[in-house]
Amino acid sequence: MKRFWTNTAILNNGTSFSIELDGRPVKLPSGTHLAVPYLPLANGIAKEWTDAPKDFSPEHLPLTRLASTAQERVALHRDSIISQLAAYGMNDLLCYRADSPPPLVARQSEVWDEWLNWAKANYGIALHCTAGLVPINQPPSTAAALHGILSTQENYTIAALGAVIPALGSFVLGFALATKALSAEAACKAAFLDELWQEDHWGADDEAVNRRASIIHDVSLSARFMELCGT
């Protein structure tokens, strides 16, 4: 797309902030105006429009895309999205352990047990673990607890978690990131523990390294988005 504006400004609407391009409001795909309730986020969105190159794409506007998701998708389909994200907790990456070799088993226990214990201590979520890929049947009460935890979150946090939790494959790591218990870098290292362990022993694969870098980039952007929302 070609850049069609020169000046970017923020308009205070009283309870929200909208972004204007040469005096015209940024519109979402539905045609409604983009309006966010957080000034730091509005500043971040305005900056990415200011910094957009002459030939730009949605990739240059990640904060705008997440805000659009919160405003147009989460607001309309909140309960369904919460259920989808809670389902990741029922099959959380941290619950599926290797049965060998012993050093990898020990490394998983060292890193992953900490965050399973954190989820239990802070939110009463007790997730069962298994060795291998046999599916775990977590109790129905766990699904209700996961759904309840997400239900307390603002739409903007849900929008960010909608990107983070699938990327990490873990409700626990995603929610720890959202609550600032875990940094984006640490969350990604925990999620990629198996891959990183294999690379330490057998060497790196360029495709895997590039894929990981892309995921880390996206998770970091979502973490920044939540920070700008004050969550």
Q: Dump pLDDT digits (tens) for 52-91.
A: 999 999 999 999 999 999 999 999 999 999 999 999 999 9
With beta carbons less than 8 A apart as the criterion, state whether 96 and 133 touch.
Answer: yes
Contacts (Cβ under 8 Å, ≥6 apart) of 141: none
Residue found by looking up tokens 């980039």 in the block: 217
Q: Which domains does the chain have, with CATH numbers?
A: 8-60 (3.30.2180.10), 77-228 (1.10.3580.10)
Q: 80-139 pLDDT, tens per residue?
A: 999 999 999 999 999 999 999 999 999 999 999 999 999 999 999 999 999 977 888 899
* Position 203 pLDDT exceeds 90: no
Tell me the pTM. Answer: 0.94
Residue found by looking up tokens 């009460």 in the block: 141
* Position 188 pLDDT exceeds 70: yes
The helices-and-strands tally (H runs, E runs) of the chain is: 10, 6
**b/e for 99-138, b at 16 or more Cβ within 10 A?**
eeeeebeebbeeebeebbebbeeeeebebeeeeeeeeeeb
Counted residue by residue, the chain has a size of 231
C-alpha to C-alpha distance for 211 and 2, rounded to whole angstroms: 28
